[in-house]
Amino acid sequence: METNMSNVLVMTHGEFATGIKKSAEMIIGEQENFETLVFTPEMSLDALVSALKQKLRKFDNDYPTLVFVDLFGGSPSNAVALLLAEGYDVQAISGVNLPMLLEVLTGRAIFPLENLVSQGVIAGSEGVINIVKKFTEE
The active-site residue, picked from 4, 13, 55, 74, is 13
- For residue 77, which of 56, 48, 113 has the smallest C-alpha distance? 48
The number of CA neighbours under 13 Å toward the Cβ of 67 is: 26
Q: Establish whether 13 is a catalytic residue.
A: yes
77 neighbors 71 (Cβ within 8 angstroms): yes
Residues 6+ apart with CB under 8 A from 39: 11, 12, 13, 14, 48, 75, 76, 79
As annotated, the active-site residues are 13
